[in-house]
């Protein structure tokens, strides 16, 4: 039931970090991939490695998830290349840290655009195809910051965007269940990637505090999302929709 043979999976932000790791897990289970990323070079390198390691087809698209035209292009080119879309992982995301009173409207818009509007646009474009197919699995990457307000850093736009992703997930799950489309969210805690690297380095102060708030006492590594990604992509999760899965070393549990 975990097999992804004959599957086509789109992963946004698949060139780096958590997206790259989930891409690898899906390829290992046999899925062909479409890697969507702003960074063409990195995506090309990832694709090359994945083809070589797992023998699957990997198609790279330089695209911006918050452009309606790009979202449509991703759906159309994927269908042209592979004939169908089984899985969409909405993973691309950015973060900007500032106190609420100092957050510029432009920063607010930038974060909302990628983290929330991008998830809507990609889900809508790909969802229309999945509705035609009467089958599909959409996996949205939220964050523990969409569940709790994480301190001491201030990131109002990020928190709100990630909370929005959870509501978007539940709404789509309810609307699209009759079409055989499942929509779920993964809410990771601290995982060491380029996005969070700078926080790990800042004099150790932030990371020490975060780890003191994490029952498991350590950050996660990207590969620790692989199991849940394969589960949600595959038929193993055939009765699972509208759910939020925390992968955070227990951070949101206490
Ligand atoms: P990352 O910065 O390492 O990688 C993100 C990738 O997304 C990059 O390749 C980047 O080029 C791409 N990207 C950014 N904006 C894009 C856009 N508009 N269109 C297409 N591609 C775009 O980040 P990461 O740490 O791997 O995070 C991945 C996701 O997981 C994000 O949504 C993030 O908010 C979420 N997350 C991360 C952590 C963590 O600790 N790393 C924790 C919780 C949630």
Q: Using 50, 70 and 90 to split pLDDT, how confident is the model at 208?
A: confident
Query: pLDDT value at position 153?
Result: 85
Residue 215: pLDDT band by 50, 70, 90 thresholds? very high
pTM above 0.90, yes or no: yes
Name the percent of the chain lying above pLDDT 90: 90
User: What is the DSSP code string of 222-238?
Assistant: GGGGHHHHHHHHSGGGT
Q: 186 CB under 6 A from ligand 1?
A: no
87-90 and 244-247 strand pairing: unpaired
Confidence of residue 209 (pLDDT cuts 50, 70, 90): confident
What is the pLDDT averaged over residues 218-224?
A: 95
Ligand 1 atom nearest to CA at 20: 26
Write out pLDDT tens, residues 151-162. 888 999 999 999
Residues forming the active site? 143, 158, 162
Distance CA 115, CA 117 (A): 6
Q: Is 187 in the pocket of ligand 1 (CB under 6 A)?
A: no
CA of 166 to the centre of ligand 1 (A): 17
Residue 201, pLDDT > 90, answer no
Instruction: For a ligand 1 pocket test, name from 141, 195, 198 the mutation site with the most ligand atoms within 8 angstroms of its C-beta.
Output: 195
Query: What is the structure's pLDDT at 192?
Result: 87
In this prediction, residue 223 carries a pLDDT of: 97
Q: Report CA torsion sign: 138, 237, 9, 132.
A: negative
Confidence of residue 205 (pLDDT cuts 50, 70, 90): confident
Going by pLDDT thresholds of 50, 70 and 90, the confidence category of residue 22 is very high
Report pLDDT for 152.
85
For the chain, what is the mean pLDDT? 96
How much distance in Å is there from the Cα of 12 to the middle of ligand 1? 9
**Whole-number Å distance between alpha carbons of 226 and 197:** 20
- A 10 A CB-CB count for 83 gives 9
| Interval 56-71 mean pLDDT | 98
For the segment 50-75, the average pLDDT, to the nearest whole number, is 98
Q: 92 C-alpha to center of ligand 1: Å?
A: 4
pLDDT single digits (tens) 104-136: 999 999 999 999 999 999 999 999 999 999 999
Superfamily of structural domain 8-248:
NAD(P)-binding Rossmann-like Domain (3.40.50.720)
146 lines ligand 1 (CB under 6 A): no
Residue minimizing CA distance to atom 10 of ligand 1 = 13
Q: What's the confidence (pLDDT) of residue 203?
A: 59
- Residue 204 is predicted with a pLDDT of 63
Tell me what the mean pLDDT of segment 190-207 comes to: 76
Residue 18 Cβ < 6 Å to ligand 1: yes
Instruction: Output the pLDDT for position 207.
Output: 81
Higher pLDDT among residues 211 and 19, named by residue: 19
Cα of 94 vs centre of ligand 1, distance in Å, is: 6
Helix (H, G, I), strand (E, B) or coil at 189: coil
Q: Lowest-pLDDT range, 23-27, 66-70, 250-254?
A: 250-254
Cα–Cα distance, 19 to 23 (Å, whole number): 6
Q: Using DSSP, state whether 67 is helix, strand or coil.
A: coil
Q: What is the model's pLDDT at position 144?
A: 97
């Amino acid at each position: 039931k975990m097999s992804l043979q004959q599957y086509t999976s789109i992963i946004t932000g698949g060139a780096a970090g958590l997206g790259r790791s989930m891409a690898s897990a899906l390829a290992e289970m046999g899925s062909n991939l479409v890697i969507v990323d702003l960074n063409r070079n990195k995506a090309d390198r990832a694709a090359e490695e994945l083809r070589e390691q797992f023998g699957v087809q990997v198609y790279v698209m330089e695209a911006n998830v918050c452009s309606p035209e790009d979202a449509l292009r991703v759906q159309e080119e994927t269908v042209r290349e592979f004939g169908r879309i089984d899985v969409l992982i909405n993973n691309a995301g950015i973060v900007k840290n500032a106190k609420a009173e100092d957050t510029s409207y432009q920063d607010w818009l930038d974060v909302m655009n990628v983290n929330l509007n991008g998830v809507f646009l990609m889900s809508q474009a790909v969802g229309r195809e999945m509705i035609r197919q009467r089958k599909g699995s959409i996996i949205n990457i939220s964050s523990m910051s969409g569940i709790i307000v994480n301190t001491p850093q201030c990131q109002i736009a990020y928190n709100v965007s990630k909370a929005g992703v959870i509501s978007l997930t539940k709404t789509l799950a309810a609307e699209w269940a009759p079409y055989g489309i499942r929509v779920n969210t993964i809410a990771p805690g601290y995982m060491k990637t380029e996005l969070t690297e700078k926080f790990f380095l800042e004099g150790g102060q932030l990371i020490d505090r975060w780890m003191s708030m994490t029952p498991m006492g350590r950050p996660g590594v990207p590969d620790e999302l692989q199991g849940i990604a394969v589960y949600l992509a595959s038929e193993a999760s055939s009765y699972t929709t509208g759910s939020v899965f925390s992968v955070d070393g227990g951070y949101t549990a206490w």
